């Protein structure tokens, strides 16, 4: 029923701490992660993939020939990724542990 990208989208749409439903979304995520521990493994996998994607995106996709449009696309991608993660972290702070891990 849920997957990590859907949870991130829910946080982005409804979990804003300023006038949103952050408390309800926090309760929902708390229940999901405590009742179904497999979601923690999924979150770890998403964190690893995102880390790998961020490190390799510029070098492999653009290979040093970054056009103005390519730079714009890349900046939009990073902005969207950062804002989505900010919403996830502010709605359910324990998720930061998996993105901050050095493992």
Give pLDDT tens digits for 16-41: 766 679 899 999 999 999 999 899 99
Average pLDDT of span 12-18: 82
User: How confident is residue 99, by pLDDT bands cut at 50, 70 and 90?
Assistant: confident
pLDDT confidence of residue 32: 95
The mean pLDDT of the chain is: 85
Is the pLDDT assigned to residue 6 strictly greater than 80? Answer: yes
pLDDT of 66-84, one tens digit each? 778 878 888 888 899 899 9
Do the Cβ atoms of 43 and 99 come closer than 8 Å?
A: no
Burial zone of 8 (CB within 10 Å; 0-12 exposed, 13-18 middle, 19+ buried): buried
């Amino acid at each position: 029923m849920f997957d990590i990208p859907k949870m991130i989208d829910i946080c982005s749409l409804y979990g804003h701490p300023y006038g949103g439903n952050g408390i309800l979304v926090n309760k929902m995520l708390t229940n999901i992660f405590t009742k179904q521990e497999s979601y923690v493994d999924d979150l770890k996998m998403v964190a690893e993939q995102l880390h790998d994607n961020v490190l390799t995106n510029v070098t492999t996709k653009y290979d040093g020939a970054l056009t103005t449009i390519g730079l714009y696309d890349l900046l939009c991608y990073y902005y969207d990724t950062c804002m989505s993660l900010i919403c996830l972290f502010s709605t359910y702070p324990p998720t930061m542990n998996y993105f901050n891990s050095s493992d």
